[in-house]
Chain A
Amino acid sequence: MKKSIASLLLGTALAVTTAGAAFAQDKTVKIGALSDQSGLYADLGGPGSTLAAQMAVEDSGLAAKGWKIDIISGDHQNKPDIGTAIARQWFDVDKVDIIVDVPNSGVALAVNNVVKEKNGVYINSGAATSDLTNAQCSPNTVHWTYDTYMLAHTTGQALVKAGGDTWFFLTADYAFGAALERDTTAVITANGGKVVGGVKHPLNTPDFSSFLLQAQASKAKIIGLANAGGDTTNTIKQAAEFGIVKGGQKLAALLLFLTDVKAIGLETAQGLNFTETFYWDMNDQTRAFSKRFSEKMKNGAMPTMVQAGVYAGVRHYLKALDGLGGNPHDGVKVVEKMKSMPTEDDLFGKGEIQPNGRTIHNAYLFEVKKPSESKGPWDFYKLVGTVPGDQAFTPLSESKCALLKK
């Protein structure tokens, strides 16, 4: 009897040590790039985001150190139910450790819950809603590139201060539009402006003329576009047709991406002011990365800030894993490690991840160039101003994140 107990104990001890050894040496990582692969946000994220993640893995040099890092991609089709179904399958069946990108705030918030439940890691680059690091923050989530608070406090504030004190909103009717309108309205009223009206339009609307006529009739000085991607490009193009800017009203593209400007064309887009946290033509490092990226893209596109955010986020994640020496399967632990290290990369420069999961880095106010000023097929932006990260993003004192109250 004694003997058998002793051997049982010995066996257990052995099992624990071998398990521990396997634990420490687990250097297998699976990355899931979840995006809109074919709809109105596919060009700003989509296949380009998967490519950015691949480049981050290659540049990390971890493969040479014996790590095995795989990437799979999925199409959430801008539907929260499809997004969560893919996320669940990835964690349960495909053993994915980290989900990246996820544009579309509705899908992003839904996936946020799944990642928390499965204790994975979530680096969101594509979605805008500031709720990801506020009311719905999670210990598993890092929100990398931009958010609605930042857009409202940079573009929105600059326009109100320049005299645009009455606003009419064209808002995409889902989580993102609502968050962007809410955050921008707060900035407008805080700066003495007023919102005189607005319409909520369905996502992916081809024709905006009815809404633009209502905006025109409101006589508001600024027409705020709380939409994105194909919706924004259609709005801007049709606003030009209806002579809105010529009539004295100003368009505020609260969220505009490089690929949107390409789609609208400089002739129509010139003079628009907006905010991004990354532009390919900022410095030698961003140009070098963007050139490599563009050469691998089928249509030769330069990276958007969303795709750049996926690259930077995955690089930082892999740095953290390297620091931990392996074991990517405990999401909270990995994210804690990521937060404990300052962020620094070629694309966004120096920054940090706040305890609520918000990555802080510079934001830039840009203006779209005139066709005569553009020197090449992707030469679109003029830098107007730089807003330091601590002024652009939600101050921790204002954050409603439960993680901060511990």
Chain B
Amino acid sequence: MQALYAQLLVGLINGSFYALLSLGLAVIFGMLNIINFAHGALYMMGAFVAYFLLNLGGISYWWALLLAPIIVGIFGMILERTMLKFLTGLDHLYGLLLTFGIALIVQGVFQNFFGSSGLPYAIPDQLKGGMNLGFMFLPIYRGWVVIFSLVVCLATWFLIEKTRLGAYLRAATENPTLVRAFGINVPRMITLTYGLGVGLAALAGVLSAPINQVRPLMGADLIIVVFAVVVIGGMGSIMGSIITGFALGVIEGLTKYFYPEASNTVVFVLMVLVLLVKPTGLTGRAA
């Protein structure tokens, strides 16, 4: 029984990465209608930027949490301005192909220079060590990841669903012409939204750097699972992706305990089952 609690908690930790990443995807899809396949590569860039900040500039993990999402977010906004904006009004497939190509190029460039086995990034001193919870040894850093991601997820949800800025954003995607008539710069809002989604991916990258190796393919390995999470949760639904992210982390953790060989596929089995019953995903609205 104790082991089961431990697996639940571990699942929740992985779930926080799924939630952060799928949240960014949901924001981008919901606002821009782009299926952002470059998300994994941008997540990887977040981890690499944190590594560079520390090793080249001596800038700590704490600053990296702020700076890496901004730097990668700016890179994302440049992508949006120079390439993605031409996709407005086109079929989803074009966005998917373009961002997939971008991901391959970015990953290829990093792999060329840094190899595939990755670079070490230490856990910050303040978060080293762990606590004995009785049923498991919880590394403090992992606990921090869960709490921090929860806060970020809820803040993002609040920003989009409950503030005036969020209302503009949602309105701009519903009816850009009308919103423009009110004197709001819609293209700039779209660019900022893409930057926000990308920033969330980069933030997840910084969070994951001390746990996983900083590797060029770290995003490629994760992105497929995250897409399954988004599909199960319902494309574009903010709260749906947060809840599904955490829930699937837990389900995957339990699979690792009961039948480890299936842990890489359980998410996809679930995806098939959900789509059979409810093609729009658990919380998705019909198109």
Q: Mark A253-275, 1 if CB is under 8 A from B, else 0.
A: 00000011011110110000000
Q: Mark B86-120, 1 if CB is under 8 A from A, else 0.
A: 00000000000000000000000001111111111
Interface check B213, CB cutoff 8 A = yes
Determine whether the beta carbon of A265 is less than 8 Å from that of B264.
no
Q: Which residues from chain A contact B13 at a C-beta distance below 8 Å? A: 209
Q: Which residues from chain B contact A204 at a C-beta distance below 8 Å? A: 221
Tell which of B112, B122, B137, B212 touches A243, judged by Cβ atoms closer than 8 Å.
B137
Chain A: which residue is nearest B256 at the CB level?
Answer: A210
Interface check B217, CB cutoff 8 A = yes
Determine whether the beta carbon of B118 is less than 8 Å from that of A233.
yes
Tell which of A199, A210, A230 touches B117, judged by Cβ atoms closer than 8 Å.
A230
Interface check A340, CB cutoff 8 A = no
Q: State A173–B212 Cα separation when bound (angstroms).
A: 20
Determine whether the beta carbon of B113 is less than 8 Å from that of A243.
no
Determine whether the beta carbon of B3 is less than 8 Å from that of A213.
yes
Q: Which residues from chain B contact A301 at a C-beta distance below 8 Å? A: 115
The bracket for how many chain A residues form the interface is 35 or more
How far does the Cβ of B29 sit from chain A's closest Cβ, in whole Å?
A: 24
Tell which of B117, B142, B257, B260 touches A241, judged by Cβ atoms closer than 8 Å.
B142
Determine whether the beta carbon of B263 is less than 8 Å from that of A44.
no
Chain A: which residue is nearest B115 at the CB level?
Answer: A43
Interface check B156, CB cutoff 8 A = no
Chain B: which residue is nearest A269 at the CB level?
Answer: B120
How far does the Cβ of A106 sit from chain B's closest Cβ, in whole Å?
A: 15
Interface check A207, CB cutoff 8 A = yes
Determine whether the beta carbon of B130 is less than 8 Å from that of A243.
yes
Interface check B218, CB cutoff 8 A = yes
Q: State A274–B44 Cα separation when bound (angstroms).
A: 30
Tell which of B115, B130, B211, B221 touches A299, judged by Cβ atoms closer than 8 Å.
B115
Q: Which residues from chain A contact B6 at a C-beta distance below 8 Å? A: 213, 217
Interface check A237, CB cutoff 8 A = yes
Determine whether the beta carbon of B115 is less than 8 Å from that of A213.
no
A209-B142, A259-B115 known; A265+B122 contact, CB < 8 A: yes
Interface check B39, CB cutoff 8 A = no
Tell which of B113, B120, B137, B260 touches A263, judged by Cβ atoms closer than 8 Å.
B120
Determine whether the beta carbon of A211 is less than 8 Å from that of B115.
no
A209-B10, A209-B142 known; A267+B120 contact, CB < 8 A: yes
Determine whether the beta carbon of A216 is less than 8 Å from that of B217.
no
Determine whether the beta carbon of A299 is less than 8 Å from that of B116.
no
Q: Which residues from chain B contact A267 at a C-beta distance below 8 Å? A: 120, 122
Interface check B187, CB cutoff 8 A = no
Q: Which residues from chain B contact A209 at a C-beta distance below 8 Å? A: 10, 13-14, 142
Q: Which residues from chain B contact A391 at a C-beta distance below 8 Å? A: none
Interface check B253, CB cutoff 8 A = yes
Q: Which residues from chain A contact B10 at a C-beta distance below 8 Å? A: 209-210, 213
Interface check A238, CB cutoff 8 A = yes
Determine whether the beta carbon of B211 is less than 8 Å from that of A43.
no
Interface check A200, CB cutoff 8 A = yes
Interface check A298, CB cutoff 8 A = yes
Determine whether the beta carbon of B115 is less than 8 Å from that of A268.
no
Interface check B261, CB cutoff 8 A = yes
Q: Which residues from chain B contact A39 at a C-beta distance below 8 Å? A: 116, 217
Q: State A40–B116 Cα separation when bound (angstroms).
A: 6
Determine whether the beta carbon of A263 is less than 8 Å from that of B111.
no
Interface check A331, CB cutoff 8 A = no
Which residues from 137 to 170 on chain B have a C-beta closer than 8 Å to any C-beta of chain A? 137, 139, 141-142
Chain B: which residue is nearest A217 at the CB level?
Answer: B3
Determine whether the beta carbon of B118 is less than 8 Å from that of A42.
no
Q: Which residues from chain B contact A217 at a C-beta distance below 8 Å? A: 2-3, 6
Q: Which residues from chain B contact A247 at a C-beta distance below 8 Å? A: 137
Determine whether the beta carbon of A242 is less than 8 Å from that of B137.
yes
Interface check B184, CB cutoff 8 A = no
Q: Which residues from chain B contact A243 at a C-beta distance below 8 Å? A: 129-130, 137, 139
Q: Which residues from chain B contact A238 at a C-beta distance below 8 Å? A: 211
Q: State A209–B256 Cα separation when bound (angstroms).
A: 10
Q: Which residues from chain A contact B112 at a C-beta distance below 8 Å? A: 298
Determine whether the beta carbon of A230 is less than 8 Å from that of B116.
yes
Tell which of B3, B115, B213 touches A237, judged by Cβ atoms closer than 8 Å.
B213
Q: State A299–B119 Cα separation when bound (angstroms).
A: 12
Determine whether the beta carbon of B264 is less than 8 Å from that of A205.
yes
Determine whether the beta carbon of A241 is less than 8 Å from that of B3.
no
Interface check B54, CB cutoff 8 A = no
Determine whether the beta carbon of B263 is less than 8 Å from that of A201.
yes
How far does the Cβ of A256 sit from chain B's closest Cβ, in whole Å?
A: 12
Tell which of B2, B113, B116, B142 touches A298, judged by Cβ atoms closer than 8 Å.
B113
Of the listed residues B116, B222, B257, B261, the one surrounded by the most CB atoms of chain A closer than 10 A to its CB is B116
Interface check A214, CB cutoff 8 A = yes
Interface check A206, CB cutoff 8 A = yes
A206-B221, A213-B10, A214-B257 known; A263+B119 contact, CB < 8 A: yes
A210-B257, A213-B3, A234-B212 known; A262+B117 contact, CB < 8 A: yes
Chain A: which residue is nearest B11 at the CB level?
Answer: A210
Q: Which residues from chain A contact B117 at a C-beta distance below 8 Å? A: 40, 42-44, 229-230, 233, 259-260, 262-263
Determine whether the beta carbon of B115 is less than 8 Å from that of A233.
no
Interface check B71, CB cutoff 8 A = no
Q: State A209–B211 Cα separation when bound (angstroms).
A: 10
How far does the Cβ of A211 sit from chain B's closest Cβ, in whole Å?
A: 7
Please list the residues of chain B having a beta carbon within 8 angstroms of any beta carbon in chain A. Answer: 2-3, 6-7, 10-11, 13-14, 111-120, 122-123, 129-130, 136-137, 139, 141-142, 211-213, 215, 217-218, 221-222, 253, 256-257, 260-261, 263-264
Please list the residues of chain A having a beta carbon within 8 angstroms of any beta carbon in chain B. Answer: 38-40, 42-44, 46, 173, 199-202, 204-207, 209-211, 213-214, 216-217, 229-230, 233-234, 237-238, 241-243, 247, 259-260, 262-265, 267-268, 298-299, 301
17 contacts between A and B (CB under 8 A): A38-B111, A40-B116, A40-B117, A42-B111, A42-B116, A200-B261, A202-B264, A205-B263, A213-B6, A214-B3, A217-B3, A230-B213, A238-B211, A243-B130, A243-B139, A265-B120, A298-B112
